Structure 1
Amino acid sequence: MGELDFQKHVQYIVSVEKKKDSFEALVMEHLRMNGAYWGLTTLDLLHSIDVVDKEEVISWMMSCWDADSGGFAGTVGHDPHLLYTLSAVQILALFDRLDVLDIDKLSSYVVGLQNEDGSFSGDGWGEIDTRFSYLAICCLSLLRCLDKINVVKAVEYIVSCKNLDGGFGCVPGGESHAGQIFCCVGALSITGSLHHVDRDLLGWWLCERQCRDGGLNGRPEKLADVCYSWWVLSSLIMIDRVHWIDKSKLTEFILNCQDRENGGISDRPDNAVDIFHTYFGVAGLSLMEYPGLKPIDPAYALPINVVNRIFFGKS
């Protein structure tokens, strides 16, 4: 199994940014803001965020801000969306530079995406999904602007997406999925509404996601995937049921997904690595208190010292 190769993963993340003209970079261009968040947060968890030029990153980020709407795009010249807006806020939180934002304009953009039933659209085109409820609630909370939305209705909508198995779907009646469960549990945690969750029922559904190889899947009958090390674990921690899975077997699964030569983590052993799974693998290990990693907050998906700085003024 070996250990987590801190330095190789730092080198991999830095190398990804330098390959802007590669096929992988071009097909992921629309997600570049998310990729920046995944990479930078991983570097911070590895105690290595200082390897990047923060001012250069902030300058690029602000070129992705849409001054008309107040939201952020995934890359320069694209349309704004909640997905990229939260990633931008999280990156600036990492850098302790939320001061560069027009918080009134940005928060108004997020507030304007709440619908009458309490749900949120991802952007001006109107798609509704509980992912967007989490994005909006997390974003506004980090900006200390959560009181600008109708929190009661937002919570009611999320609860309306709860299923008989204890899980949550993307809309009322939607299939329970670990990614959606994280979004709903995370939003309920941030708003102080976890009493709506049946912890034992949901905890059982989530711990059943552990496969024979130790990894976690997103729903029944699927293969294990490193990214669910985050979605499932963080949810279990928020509902205080993380002791229901075998952490040592999950740790072994994640470590076996490392590229020992070039760094990076893949979805499962021997597959190609990417920045997405590298982040979720390292974040999952952080949740399990892997030695040498910064601890990460399960609701805000940011290092705990960053969250403490925002809410308590201390690192």
Structure 2
Amino acid sequence: MDVPHPLPPLARSAHVAYVKHALANLPGSMVSLDASRMAIVFYCVGSLDVLGVLQTETSETDRTSWRTWIWEQYVAGRYGTGFKPGPFMSSSSSNARPAVPCEQDPPHIIMTYTALLSLAILRDDFTRLNRPGLLHFLGACQNKDGSFSSMPFGGGDSDLRNLYCAFCICSLLGDFSSINVERAISFIGSCRTYEGGYGQLPSCEAQAGTTYLAIAALRLAPPAPRPRLTTAERVRSEHWLIHSQDSLSGGFRGRTGKAPDACYCFWGGAALQILGAQDKLNAHEFTQFIASCQFRFGGIAKTPGQHPDPYHTYLSLAAAAMYAPRLDQNEQRYGQWEFAPFDPLVNARVDVVRWARERIPAPRRH
């Protein structure tokens, strides 16, 4: 029996320094990400949270300023309320009120999802959240075929990423009343491929990321008389996901025949967690691949030897948080691969999801 190679240590301090720097000043090589600044904030504060250092490595002043900036991207209009990606191309550089009417700068459904999670990580009380407006926004993003556009009334992209975010927000609100759930479920089914995975759109090639989005959305959906996935469909999805783990490196491929990539360790690994098939994955080799993608000055890259970015850093840490408990206890402790419990369905620590579910819904009347 082959003895597994010892895991390299998780470079916690270097990763903390990397994401703190990214929060303050993204490098020039990432200027194209400025239009997705809300997502970058989520990846960075999420990384600090998964590493368990948000409270110790940042000040209350920092956390307050980040909460303030997030709420500055909160907008309202005839489409309802939600969060825009950032001040990029905004008509106003300042937004001190909870929600400012801005028809030409509408909210974005993915950025709204990341904003809500970031605020939960930062322990916001959500007293400024307009719940009916948020529900109206989600309804305005749904298309006739059940899919969701990233912006209201067909604006932006339309694919499974937006559908997952809509379902996740409805789940956190505890209210699916503003969307047509069954039509959305039908759209998910139309994206399923013969392999058992899901493409971004109908007739597209199966990808690990969109397979996670589909499987997670099906689990987030309100209960139905019959399972959302048949036994045969579940088995085929598990088979495709399990065989997406590369036998040599332990990493996950995003598509059949492609090279492994650290972000797909999350997408594939989380989908298997949701399906209850996590024990079929080789957790040691899985974590070994993530460790090999660490950059020597901090951050985690898509593949070994490349430069890191906040996206791959966060998703790699989230993947490790899900599978490190399956490692030998000595590997966890001495390699610093210990993490708090992680929720693969919502993509945040369990305590963050609990905070969000308690405070994002409308306050109960006593």
Q: TM-score range by the shorter chain?
A: over 0.9
Work out whether 1:24 is the aligned partner of 2:18.
Answer: no
Equivalence map 1:177-192=2 (5 Å):
177-191=207-221, 192=223
Match of 2:54 in 1: 49
Q: 1:252 aligns with which of 288, 293, 298?
A: 288
Shift in Å at residue 25 of structure 1? Answer: 4.3
Match of 1:279 in 2: 314
Aligned length, in residue pairs: 311
List alignment gaps of at least 5 residues for structure 2: 1-6, 90-104, 326-331, 333-337, 360-366
How far does residue 58 in structure 1 lie from its aligned partner after superposition?
Answer: 1.3
TM-score (norm 1): 0.92
| Residues 1:300 and 2:346 aligned together | yes
Contact 2:167 2:217 in 1 (8 A): yes
- Structure 1 stretches lacking a partner, 5+ long: none
Match of 1:75 among 83, 86, 89: 86
Deviation at 1:30, TM superposition (A): 0.8
Cα offset for 1:224? 0.7
Aligned to 2:151: 123
Query: Shift of the alpha carbon at 1:27?
Result: 2.1
- Structure 2 Cα separation of the partners of residues 72 and 25 of structure 1: 22
Q: How does 1:85-234 map to 2 (within 5 A)?
A: 85-97=112-124, 98-124=126-152, 125=155, 127-191=157-221, 192=223, 195-196=228-229, 198-211=233-246, 212-234=248-270
Q: 1:127 to 1:266 in 2, by over 3 A?
A: closer
Deviation beyond 4 Å, 4+ runs, structure 1: none
**Contact kept? 1:159, 1:196, Cα under 8 Å:** no
**Secondary structure, counterpart of 1:111 in structure 2:** helix
1:99 is displaced (CA, Å) by 2.5
Of 224-233 and 26-35, the range deviating more from structure 2: 26-35
Partner of 2:3: none
1:14 aligns with 2:23: no
Which deviates the most, 298-307 or 156-165?
156-165
Which residue in 2 is equivalent to 1:241? 277
- State how far apart, in whole Å, the 2-side matches of 1:126 and 1:284 are: 29
Paired with 1:206 and 1:7, the residues of 2 have a C-alpha distance of 32
Note the C-alpha offset of 1:252. Answer: 0.6
Residue 77 of structure 1 and its aligned partner are, at CA, apart by: 4.2
Question: 2:22 & 2:161 partners in 1: Cα distance?
Answer: 27
Paired residue for 1:3, among 9, 13, 20? 9
CA distance in 1, matches of 2:75, 2:88: 9
Q: Per the alignment, in what secondary structure is the counterpart of residue 222 of structure 1?
A: coil
Aligned to 2:92: none
CA RMSD of aligned residues (A): 1.9
**Is contact 1:45-1:295 (8 Å) kept?**
no
Distance 1:294 1:37 in 2: 18
Amino acid at match of 2:286: L
Q: Which whole-Å deviations, capped at 9, do the CAs of 1:116-166 have from their partners, x for residues lacking one?
A: 232211114253211111011111211222233222222122122222221
**Letter of the aligned partner of 2:228 in structure 1?**
H
Q: Residue 70 of structure 2 aligns with which residue? A: 61
Q: Counterpart in 1 of 2:93? A: none
Report the AA paired with residue 318 of structure 2. A
Question: Greater shift after overlay, 97-106 or 215-224?
Answer: 97-106
- Cα distance change on mapping 1:253 and 1:126 into 2, 3 Å: closer
Point out the structure with max Rg over C-alpha: 2
Cα shift at 1:196 = 1.7
Looking at structure 1, the residues matched to 23 and 192 of structure 2 have their Cα atoms a distance apart, in angstroms, of: 39
Change (3 A) 1:15 1:127: closer
CA gap 1:33/1:310 in 2 versus in 1, 3 angstroms: closer
